[in-house]
């Protein structure tokens, strides 16, 4: 059976949604983030990264994607996504599977985790910035 017909899981295999409307699978192991941050996986210009992560506690950072919107969807559990709008935080509760927020490009955001949750992300990752919560 060809490789592209095997089942994958977004918890361990991430997807690069390319600008030419093709999809590349990326192994989401311990080397993924260092490879991504060092540029070994390219710059994701006009591309999106699709991932799933499990959270048991609040995010330790704010993040911002200057070149594209991000979709954040709760698959299970409960989270409050906090968006910084003109210096004022706006809290959006995600508590039913399928609840999502479109985070506009250039918007700082973080998450408060009320109950252990699983979240799906479709991220315009080029130029992503982070800062600590504090």
Neighbouring CB atoms inside 10 A of 7's CB total 5
Determine the distance from the C-alpha atom of residue 71 to the mean position of all C-alpha atoms in its chain, rounded to a whole number: 7
Contact 92, 78 (CB under 8 A): no
Cα dist from 19 to 24, 45, 60, 87, 118, whole Å: 11, 8, 31, 32, 27
pLDDT digits (tens, 9 = 90+) for 43-91: 899 999 999 999 999 999 999 999 999 999 999 999 999 999 887 899 9
Interior angle at CA 39, CA 37 and CA 42, nearest 5: 120
What is the rounded (10 degree) CA torsion for 22, 14, 11, 83? -100
pLDDT digits (tens, 9 = 90+) for 89-110: 999 999 999 999 999 999 999 9
Q: pTM of the prediction? A: 0.91
Domains of the chain: 3-132 (2.60.120.10)
């Amino acid at each position: 059976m060809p490789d592209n017909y095997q089942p994958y899981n977004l918890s361990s295999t991430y997807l690069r949604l390319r600008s030419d409307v093709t999809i590349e699978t990326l192994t989401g192991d311990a080397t993924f983030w260092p490879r991504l941050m060092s540029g070994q996986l390219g710059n994701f210009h006009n591309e999106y990264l699709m991932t799933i992560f499990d959270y048991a506690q609040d995010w330790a950072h704010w993040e911002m994607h200057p070149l594209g919107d991000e979709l954040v969807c709760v698959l299970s559990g409960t989270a409050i996504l906090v968006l910084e709008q003109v210096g004022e935080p706006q809290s959006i509760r995600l508590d039913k599977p399928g609840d999502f927020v479109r985070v506009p490009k250039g918007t700082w955001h973080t998450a408060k985790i009320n109950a252990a949750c699983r979240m799906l992300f479709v991220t315009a990752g080029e130029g992503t910035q982070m800062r600590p919560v504090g």
